[in-house]
Amino acid sequence: SQQGEEDPQALSIQEGENATMNCSYKTSINNLQWYRQNSGRGLVHLILIRSNEREKHSGRLRVTLDTSKKSSSLLITASRAADTASYFCAGGSNYKLTFGKGTLLTVNP
Amino acid sequence: DAGVIQSPRHEVTEMGQEVTLRCKPISGHDYLFWYRQTMMRGLELLIYFNNNVPIDDSGMPEDRFSAKMPNASFSTLKIQPSEPRDSAVYFCASGGGDEQFFGPGTRLTVL
């Protein structure tokens, strides 16, 4: 079963713009993680936010978590063509992750 | 470290054949996960191990699927007999904490 549901399913922006992706989840979690997948590759961990945190930053990434709404958002600032990929959120509990279906981000040069 | 290693990278087989996928986790990681990714169902957790012991296999689709981890540096996922609906990309991931490190995947096509 899917834990996270990302929104939108696809997003196309111009280089330099910001990209925001949202995620909703269903059950209780210890943490919420975001991963990136380039076409034909494995997933790469981007950032983790714990259930007692509300916001976290890492470079051009900003993640928020609202446990009352069971939702999270990932903001990528000043996007680059190299950011083109699929982005997945995953709810973590006891080392087990349940992934959503992802948002396909296309950054046009 | 070379990261998580999976083999083969591509496998094409005929319905009814046995398929074995292999994974070498990152040294020192005590968790190993097998996932399946399809367009229709997304990324699904099949089974995961902790210190070589299967902890949760509730995602294994049916008895045709089996997984083993005979030691800390090797795991296999076996499908016997294979069916066309098993066609997917199978990922192995390992971790020592909350973050997981994924291998490049095995693209399986069952004709």
| A7 pLDDT above the threshold of 90 | no
* Pick from A13-17, A89-93, B4-8: least confident: A89-93
The yes-or-no verdict on residue A3 having pLDDT over 70 is: no
Q: Are B1 and B98 in contact (CB under 8 A)?
A: no
**If you average pLDDT over residues B84-105, what whole number do you get?**
95
What residues contact B47, with CB distance under 8 A and at least 6 apart?
Answer: B33, B34, B54, B56, B57, B59, B60, B67, B77
CB contact under 8 A, B105 and A41: yes
User: Which residue among A2, A44, A97 places its CB closest to the CB of B42?
Assistant: A2
Q: Mean pLDDT, to the nearest integer, of B25-50?
A: 95
**How many contacts does A have with B, using Cβ atoms within 8 A?**
49
Name chain A contacts of B45, Cβ cutoff 8 Å. Answer: 96-99
Closest chain B residue to A43, measured at CA? B102
Instruction: Classify residue A45 by burial, with Cβ atoms within 10 Å: 0-12, 13-18, 19+.
Output: middle
- The whole-angstrom separation of Cα B51 and Cα B68 is 12
Q: Could you tell me if residue A30 is left (phi over 0), alpha (psi between -120 and 50 degrees) or otherwise beta?
A: alpha
Cα separation, A81 vs B30, in Å, equals 36
* Nearest-neighbour CA in chain A from B74: distance (Å): 18
Of A44, A48, A95, the CB nearest to B31: A95
pLDDT in tens, A32-80: 999 999 998 999 999 999 999 999 999 999 999 999 999 999 999 999 9
Average pLDDT over chain B reads 95
Round to whole Å and give the CA distance between A72 and B86: 32
Q: What is the pLDDT of residue A5?
A: 76
Query: Residue B68 pLDDT > 80, yes or no?
Result: yes
**How far does the CA of residue A45 sit from the closest CA of chain B (Å)?**
7
